[in-house]
Amino acid sequence: MRTAYSVETVRTAERALMARLPEGALMQRAAAGLAAACAGLLGRVYGSRVVLLVGSGDNGGDALYAGARLARRGAGVAAVLLAPERAHAAGLAALLRAGGRVVGAGADTVGGAAAAAGVGAVEEAILRADLVVDGIVGIGGKGGLRPDAAQLAACAAESRAAVVAVDLPSGVDADTGEVHGDAVRADLTVTFGTHKPGLLIDPARAYAGSVRLVDIGLDGELPDEAALEALQHADVARLLPVPGAESDKYRRGVVGIAAGSARYPGAAVLAVSGALRGGAGAVRYVGPAGDAVISRFPETLVSDRGPKHAGRVQAWVVGPGAGDDASTVAEVLACDVPVLVDADGLRLADRDAVRARTAPTLMTPHAGEAAALLGVSRETVEGARLTWVRELASRYGATVLLKGSTTLIADARGGAVRVNATGTPWLATAGSGDVLSGLAGSLLASGLSALDAGSAAAYLHGLAGRYAADGAPAGAHDVAAAIPEAWRDVRDAGH
C-alpha cells in the first residue's frame, strides 16, 4: 500500500523524530537522497551543470546541501537565491565550501570572485543547465508561486534541463493536489519520509513527474491511518474473491444489473460484461434490454419483472443508460443489499432515499456528474477533487468513487481516501464507465465493502484499459474483455 499523509501529520512526525536525532540529521538524510536521485538522472555528475532554485525555507536548505554533494563530485553548481538574506545559512555555506557559487541577487555579497549578478546571468545559467533543482518551497508553501519564482519556473521549463522538485513541485498544494496559479513542472520529484496527497492527486500530480520516495526514518512516527491510500497489486490481490470448494453460484454472490433503456441498450450490455468478469457467481439483468444482453451474454439471468421481483441478489447496480426511469432507481434504493448508483441513476436518485439506506451505497460519478449533484462547475470539481469527493460522500451518506485521471474513493464516515492511478487517458471512451459499474457491482455482491469494491474495481479497470489500449484506441467492450488478464496479473503478483 502506498500512503500519503497531510502536512500537519508530517510536521508532527518530523518533530518527534528530530527530537531523537542530532540537529540537522534529517536534512542530511533528505539531501543525500536528493543528491543521489539527481546523480542518477545526470548519469555523469563530473562536469555537469546544475542550477539550484533556492527559497527561504528548509526546502531550499535541502537543495543547497544536495548541491554541495554534487559540487564535491565535480558538478558545476550555481544557486539562485530568491531571498538572499533568508537563504538557509548553513546549507549555503556548505555549497560555497564545496566550490558552488551564487548567481543573480546576492551573488555580489556571498559568491566572491566566482559570483555573477543580474537577471541575465540567472536566465543564462538556467538555459545552459543540465539539471535544475526546485528548492523554492516544499510543505511550507502557501498558494501558487510568487512572480519572481514563477519567472524562474518558466525559464526552467524553457531550458532543456531536467527539473527535479525537492519534496513537492513548488506552487502545488501538498494536502489537496490543487494548483492555484503558477507551479513548477518537474520531471522527477524526490519526496521525503512519506508521499504527500498532492503528489498522487491531479492536477498537482501532473506537475510532479515521476515520484521517488526517500526514507528518512519517518515511518515509525506516522499514525496508522493515512490521509490517502493507493492500493498496489498485492493489496488488490488480497481483496479479490476466490471461490472455495464449497462455492456454488449463489454463495459466490449474484449481482443484479438494472440498466439500459430502449434508447441505450448498449449500456446494459456493457455493465453486464463488466459484472460477468467481477467474481460474482451469476449476473441477473432486469430492464428493457434483455434481448440485447442475452444475445451477447447467454449466461445472464434475464428477468422482465422489476428489481423487487427479479429474485435474490447480493448487490444491485442501477443507472447506466437508464434514461428517465426514476421508479427503477427508487425501487433498487429501497432494497436492503449493497447498491451501486451510476450515470443516469445519479441524477434520478433521491438524496434522502440514499441517506436513509442502511446497506452500503456506492456512487460512481465522473467530474461532470459530481458537479451537477453538487451544484458547482465541472472545472471546480476537477480543480479540487479531494475536497469534492469528500463533500459528496458526506452529503449523500454514501461511498463515492469520483472517476478521472486519478480516481478517488471516499467513505461517508471519513477515514483514508483511496486513490487509483492505474487508469489511462484511453479509458475516457464511451461505455467504459458502464463496464466499471458492472465490475464494481460484482465485487460488492462477492462481499467486499463499498470502499474495497470501488477501489479494487477501479484498479482492475484501469489495468484492463491499459492492456486493451496498449497505446491505441480501444472500445469499452475491449476493456471488459481485458479484465481477466488484469485480474490474473494482480492475483499472480499477490502470491
Ligand X SMILES: NC(=O)C1=CN([C@@H]2O[C@H](COP(=O)(O)OP(=O)(O)OC[C@H]3O[C@@H](n4cnc5c(N)ncnc54)[C@H](O)[C@@H]3O)[C@@H](O)[C@H]2O)[C@@H](O)CC1
Q: How far apart are CA 456 and CA 409, in angstroms?
A: 10
Binds ligand X (CB under 6 A): choice among 95, 115, 132, 166: 166
Q: Which of K ion, ligand X, none lies near 194, with the C-beta cut-off 5 to 8 A by kind?
A: none
- Helices (H), ranges, 277-349: 290-296, 326-333, 344-348
Nearer to ligand X, 26 or 257 (CB): 26
- 350-356 long-range contacts (CB < 8 A, ≥24 apart) are 351/395, 351/396, 354/396, 354/397, 354/398, 355/396, 355/397, 355/398
CA distances from 66 to 116, 130, 262, 363, 414 (A): 21, 15, 64, 46, 39
Q: How far apart are CA 180 and CA 39, in angstroms?
A: 31
Nearer to K ion, 79 or 463 (CB): 79
Q: How far apart are CA 417 and CA 3, in angstroms?
A: 10
Q: How far is the CB of 80 from K ion (least distance, A)?
A: 13
Total residues found in the chain within this entry: 495
Amino acid at 477: H
Q: Tell whether residue 148 is among the known ligand binding residues.
A: no
User: Residue 165, interface with ligand X (CB under 6 A)?
Assistant: no
Nearer to ligand X, 55 or 287 (CB): 55
HSE toward the beta carbon, residue 332, CA cutoff 13 A: 35
Report the helix count and the strand count for the chain, using DSSP H and E: 20, 18
HSE toward the beta carbon, residue 378, CA cutoff 13 A: 7
Binds ligand X (CB under 6 A): choice among 99, 140, 323, 397: 140
Region from 26-34, 205-213, 351-359, 432-440 binding ligand X, contact rule CB under 6 A: 26-34
CA distances from 39 to 47, 48, 137, 184, 323 (A): 12, 10, 21, 20, 57
Nearer to K ion, 196 or 357 (CB): 196
User: Residue 142, interface with ligand X (CB under 6 A)?
Assistant: yes
| Site residue total, ligand X (CB under 6 A) | 26
User: Residue 362, interface with ligand X (CB under 6 A)?
Assistant: no
User: Residue 203, interface with ligand X (CB under 6 A)?
Assistant: no
Q: How far is the CB of 77 from K ion (least distance, A)?
A: 17
Strands 162-166 and 361-363: unpaired
Binds K ion (CB under 5 A): choice among 26, 98, 166, 450: 166
Q: Which of K ion, ligand X, none lies near 431, with the C-beta cut-off 5 to 8 A by kind?
A: none
Helix 58-72 vs helix 89-97: crossing angle, to nearest 10:
10
C-alpha radius of gyration, the chain, whole number: 26
Nearer to ligand X, 192 or 388 (CB): 192
| Site residue total, K ion (CB under 5 A) | 5
User: Residue 146, interface with ligand X (CB under 6 A)?
Assistant: yes
Judged by CB under 6 A, the chain residues 252 through 291 that form the site for ligand X are none
* Full DSSP string of 7-21: HHHHHHHHHHHHTTS
Q: Is 22 exposed, middle or buried (0-12, 13-18, 19+ CB in 10 A)?
A: exposed
Judged by CB under 5 A, the chain residues 121 through 160 that form the site for K ion are 134
Q: How far apart are CA 198 and CA 169, in angstroms?
A: 9
Sign of the CA dihedral with 327 first, then 332, 333, and 339 last = negative
User: Residue 258, interface with K ion (CB under 5 A)?
Assistant: no
Judged by CB under 5 A, the chain residues 45 through 84 that form the site for K ion are 59
Q: How far is the CB of 168 from K ion (least distance, A)?
A: 5
Q: Tell whether residue 58 is among the known ligand binding residues.
A: yes
Binds ligand X (CB under 6 A): choice among 4, 27, 329, 443: 27
Q: Which of ligand X, K ion, none lies near 149, with the C-beta cut-off 5 to 8 A by kind?
A: ligand X
Q: Tell whether residue 12 is among the known ligand binding residues.
A: no
What does the per-residue mask of binding to ligand X show for 31-60, with x meaning CB under 6 A?
------------------------xxxxxx
Q: How far apart are CA 340 and CA 165, in angstroms?
A: 40
Q: How far is the CB of 465 from ligand X (least distance, A)?
A: 34
**Coil, helix or strand for 481?**
helix
Q: How far is the CB of 225 from ligand X (least distance, A)?
A: 21
Q: Tell whether residue 167 is among the known ligand binding residues.
A: yes
Q: How far is the CB of 168 from ligand X (least distance, A)?
A: 6
Nearer to ligand X, 146 or 296 (CB): 146
Judged by CB under 6 A, the chain residues 49 through 108 that form the site for ligand X are 55-60, 62
Q: Tell whether residue 494 is among the known ligand binding residues.
A: no
User: Residue 170, interface with K ion (CB under 5 A)?
Assistant: yes
Closest by CA position to 460, among listed 232, 190, 152, 256: 232
Nearer to K ion, 164 or 254 (CB): 164
Residues 137-166: b if buried by 16+ CB within 10 A, e if exposed: bbbebeebbbeebbebbbbbeebebbbbbb
Binding residues: 58-62, 134, 138-144, 167, 170, 267, 321, 366, 403-407, 433-434
Residues making up the annotated binding site for AMP are 403-407, 433
Site of interaction with ligand X (CB under 6 A): 14, 18, 26-27, 30, 55-60, 62, 137-143, 145-146, 149, 166-167, 192, 216
Residues annotated in a binding site for K(+):
59, 134, 170
Positions in the binding site for K ion (CB under 5 A): 59, 134, 165-166, 170
